Amino acid sequence: MNEYLAGLTTEGINPVTSMIDELPTEQMLALINQEDATVPAAVAAELPHIAKAVEALHGVLSSGGRMFYIGAGTSGRLGVLDASECPPTFGTDPELVQGYIAGGDIALRVAVEGCEDDGDEGRALIDRIGVTNKDAVIGISASGSAAYVIEGLRRAGELGAVTICVANNKETKLAKVSQIEIAPVVGPEVIAGSTRLKSGTAQKLVLNMLTTGVMVKLGKTYNNLMVDMKASNKKLYDRAVRMVKLTTGADQNAAEKALQDASMDCKLAIMMIKSGLQADAASKVLTDCGGSLKKAIRVCNQVT
């Protein structure tokens, strides 16, 4: 028996759900829901560490660096998911936030067992994707024992990158190669060892906080609106028109015209209406203000 693995809370047997296979369907689901309800508190206990990670990631991205997620299995899929949602949500370049999973993209759909144990491939990945001392790497592993993630994070640290881990056990092997440890401990799973359940939910909440927190600090929102997006489909176009109208008081026709003049860039359209500037001039002010719409509007108001 591997004593390290046997001692992990994520490998424990949950006494509350020991007879789950004998319960009526609704009671079984109520029990799962009851266990899920404990996850937010575990994440809340890690807020100081999550805040530290957001500050570090903001420093990296605002200085021209990138952030990378690496993981295996459920953890890897969640990292790839979070990274892939940044461009449509916040208008980021796909290179800014990237996600990688042990076994490659095929592992997003089909379980590729054994890849999480390949530490050499984890190190090779970091070199292959060109991590430097300007970047940050977040390793995700419920057990904190996946060699692929551990060695990948170790290599990132050797290169001078900021290293962060997200695990569901404290003081793991992964934490030892990380500068910042985020470890929401959710206890034994409803089905013993099935870390796609509470552990995966906790990881998703943490990753949501990391990217959302960083993007807000980078000026990707205006108040709580996702203004830094391209109106690239019908739903997003409708949302963009509503946001332009809401933030500027413009009517439907004026909002649509501003979006057309801004090449469907919602933030730029708002800036044009708020400042009275044409697209090129409004874009320059936004750039000079680091992309912050609120700051750019204030600058224009001071000038006028």
DSSP notation for 41-82: HHHHTTHHHHHHHHHHHHHHHHTT--EEEEESHHHHHHHHHH
Q: Active-site residues: which are they?
A: 85, 116
Q: What is the amino acid identity at position 131? A: V
Residues in CB range of 90: below 8 A, 6 or more apart: 211, 215, 220, 221, 226, 228, 229
For residue 71, what are the β-bridge partners?
A: 101, 140
